[in-house]
Amino acid sequence: MNAWRDRLNRMTNRTRFVVCRIFVHLAGSDVAPLLGILNRTAREAIDTEGDLEVLGEGLVEVCQSLLQYDEYWLSAANEGDVFWDEGEAGDYFNELFTDSAQRYLSEVDLDGDADLNEPLSLPATRNVVVMVTAAFEGEVPELETNLADVTALKAGLKALINLHYQEKLRGIQVHFSPAQFGDELTNDQLLQYFPELVPL
């Protein structure tokens, strides 16, 4: 039925919107520096009040960093849907945003007193989960498939980068847990707050 509807909507030239969310779980003693990159891109996005160009550049940096840290990938998951109505796509995007923000310690504390330039003497977490939510126009098979596979996940992250350069992104949101240095995401918390993760 969906394939028939897709063909019908293509014939009537209606715009196809896709909203997807990707989870990447990294584990190991060397994953904590990734939090620095994630926090910096989050602050830049907030400082520019969500400017889509800046968000896109931040997304590219996050995806490139995840690809560089691929040896630490432990599990992943993804979900999404296709819409022919921009309002419905926006509602679903907001729903995923709200869900991601409610995950364990995924809110960035911009009022904290920690100086990111000081040497770190805080305990480093061994687990980081990055949640990328994107809304875009068109059809991207690399993002509309199961990404709980290393090869597929790499292709999906590269596809997100390309969407930025093709100017097809309509919404971007990156959440991560834990959200700051010194916080820890334990294995028990992973199971509780990220039950959809599938081992890679």
- Residues 105-117 pLDDT 10s: 666 554 544 444 5
Query: Which pLDDT tens digit goes with each residue over 12-41?
Result: 568 999 999 999 999 998 887 888 889 888
Q: CA torsion, points 113, 107, 55, 81, in degrees to nearest 10?
A: 180
| Domains identified in the chain, total number | 1
Nearest CA-CA partner of 141 in 194, 200, 82, 88 = 82
In a domain, 118, yes or no: no
**152 has a pLDDT exceeding 80:** yes
84-90 LR contacts (CB < 8 Å, sep 24+): 84/5, 84/9, 84/14, 84/15, 84/16, 84/17, 85/17, 86/15, 86/17, 89/17, 89/18, 89/19, 89/135, 89/170, 90/135, 90/171
In a domain, 8, yes or no: no
The per-residue pLDDT for 103 is 87
In a domain, 5, yes or no: no
Nearest CA-CA partner of 46 in 128, 91, 108 = 108
In a domain, 80, yes or no: yes
In a domain, 115, yes or no: no
Q: What is the number of alpha carbons within 13 Å of residue 123 lying toward its C-beta?
A: 8
Preceding omega of 178 cis (within 30 degrees of 0): yes
In a domain, 37, yes or no: yes
Domain that holds residue 61: 18-108+127-199
In a domain, 151, yes or no: yes
- pTM, to two decimals: 0.85
